[in-house]
Amino acid sequence: MELRHIIDEFHRVALAHPNIHFYMYNNGSELFNLPVSNFRQRVVNLFGVKTNEKLVPIEEETPVVKISGFVVKPEHVKKTKPLQFLLVNDRFIRSRYLNHAITLAYEGLLASQVQPEYFIRLEMNPATIDINIHPTKTEIKFEDEHTIYAMLKSAVKHALGQFNVMPTLDFEKDASVDIPYSYKEKLPVFPTISVDPNFNPFKAESKTNLPVGSYMKKSNPTWESIYSGLQEAVDTFEPQVVESRIFTEESYELQSANTKKIISFGKKYLITTLGQEVLIINISRAHQRVLYDEFLKKMEATCVASQQLMFPLEISFSKSDIERITAMKSLFESIGFMFDIQQDNLLFTGIPLHVSDNEVADLFHELIANDEVIFTDQEEAQKIAFAKKISKSLAFRTGQNLTDEEQETLINRLFASSESLVSPFGKRIYTTLTSNDLDKYF
């Protein structure tokens, strides 16, 4: 954990001073070598080469504050532990108020619960800020914070719109529908008109002698025989016979005996019966337990199944992340991840069977965020911590839809696990209700 905090602090200081050459070593291994550069290059050197293409520049200058730096394009924002760096006069600060302004500028571009990523510098008159309100000097008070809030929000929104990140309406687009035309070479065919030369619209006709129904098409003479046949069928119809064919008591009892009903409640719980008891199961915790046991078994196995990718998957990480991944490489391989480390990139050739390739990047960022998994001295404790972390990352989330088959499989695997009552984190997985428990509510 100490190294994690040291690297975090190194990031803050190095970003604030791109005009200084920084080095960082850990146990004789060089983690960072940051030459003097501009602010953009310093960000790229710290967080990986592929960060460069994810950045949207901000540049706004007013008499109150000068705003510069970069925000990350919405499609590249990480779901966990977002990179958020706000520098005021070359000093790293934390401000929930200004973070809210930046988040609001991203409105409609990010999924719920996802935070924006940014590297923003503010330059202003030192007399208009107070940095002595917190012992760590990371929280400051602005003289006119409402103005700065509005300007920061506007600058971020303007930058996102200027670089075509914001959704826009195209008023120049022709509203007409493009219809393919393939008749240029065809000769026109003139329509022909048939005229009755004997027709006289003013000629009076006597209709008094016409029989009733003379303007109607003559009906089928056999309709009466059809009706009589239908009438005989209605007269002989026995409704009790049809009813017994659909709802026979025997078939209903057979269906009830072979089917155990599982109800999904609030997309968070499964409700079913176990003997004479009602069983209420927390879906996410149950899945954590199932995955946790599975990963522990895989770590002890000599041969682990892995799905081979048709095309290698390349994901970019910062140097500090690469250092942590290198320390955990054997753990990742023990559960089915197969990859090579190439400078700041991981090249995946295989992943676990129940992981899709579009989940790999977020999963790795979640796993390496917890340093106690990496630096614990005991191998068994390291495996347990790793299995807990990855099972929580991959478990079903609240609100996720499960098919009937997935619900049934989850329950069966839960009660086949080593400990069905509590999750790997010690949380209760299910509870039971008897008829006596239910009687108390009535």
For 356-396, give the DSSP string: -GGGHHHHHHHHHT-THHHH-S-HHHHHHHHHHHHHHHHSP
* Helical H segments across 2-55, by residue range: 2-16, 39-47
CATH of domain 282-414: 3.30.1370.100
Q: How confident is the model at residue 283 (pLDDT cuts 50, 70, 90)?
A: very high
**pLDDT confidence of residue 185:** 56
Q: Which of 81, 75, 74 is nearest to 102 (CA)?
A: 74
3-state SS track over 129-149: EECCCCCCCCCCEECCHHHHH
Contacts (Cβ under 8 Å, ≥6 apart) of 389: 366, 367, 370, 373
Residue 223 has pLDDT above 70, yes or no: no
In contact, 391 and 355? CB cutoff 8 Å: no
**Strands 338-342 and 269-274, how do they pair?**
unpaired
Residue 56 has pLDDT above 80, yes or no: yes
Name residue 29's beta-bridge partners: 26
Kindly state the average pLDDT of the residues 379-399.
82
> Left (φ > 0), alpha (ψ -120 to 50) or beta: where does 433 sit?
beta
Amino acid identity of residue 336, one-letter, is: G
Taking only the tens place, the pLDDT of each residue in 244-279 is 333 334 333 333 334 468 898 888 999 998 888 899
> What is d(CA 410, CA 420) in angstroms, rounded to the nearest whole number?
11
Instruction: DSSP letter for 428, please.
Output: B
Task: Please give the model's pTM, rounded to 2 decimal places.
Answer: 0.50
**pLDDT confidence of residue 17:** 95
Residues 294-333, buried b or exposed e (16+ Cβ, 10 A)? bbbebbeeeebebeeeeeebebbbbbbbbbbbeebeebbe
Handedness of CA 135, 139, 142, 146 (dihedral sign): negative
Q: How confident is the model at residue 156 (pLDDT cuts 50, 70, 90)?
A: very high
Which residue is it, tokens 């990352």?
393
> What is d(CA 125, CA 113) in angstroms, rounded to the nearest whole number?
34
**pLDDT confidence of residue 177:** 45
* Mean pLDDT over each residue of the chain, to the nearest integer: 78
> What is d(CA 346, CA 337) in angstroms, rounded to the nearest whole number?
11
Rounded to 5 degrees, what angle do the CA atoms 172, 173, 177 make? 150
> What is d(CA 66, CA 87) in angstroms, rounded to the nearest whole number?
12
On the 0-12 / 13-18 / 19+ scale of CB atoms within 10 A, 18 is: buried
Q: Where in the chain is the domain with CATH 3.30.1370.100?
A: 282-414
Q: Where in the chain is the domain with CATH 3.30.230.10?
A: 48-162
Which CATH fold topology does 48-162 show?
Ribosomal Protein S5; domain 2 (3.30.230)
> What is d(CA 48, CA 54) in angstroms, rounded to the nearest whole number?
11
Q: How confident is the model at residue 70 (pLDDT cuts 50, 70, 90)?
A: very high
Taking only the tens place, the pLDDT of each residue in 326-373 is 878 888 888 888 999 888 888 999 888 778 878 888 888 777 775 555
Which residue is it, tokens 């009755």?
196
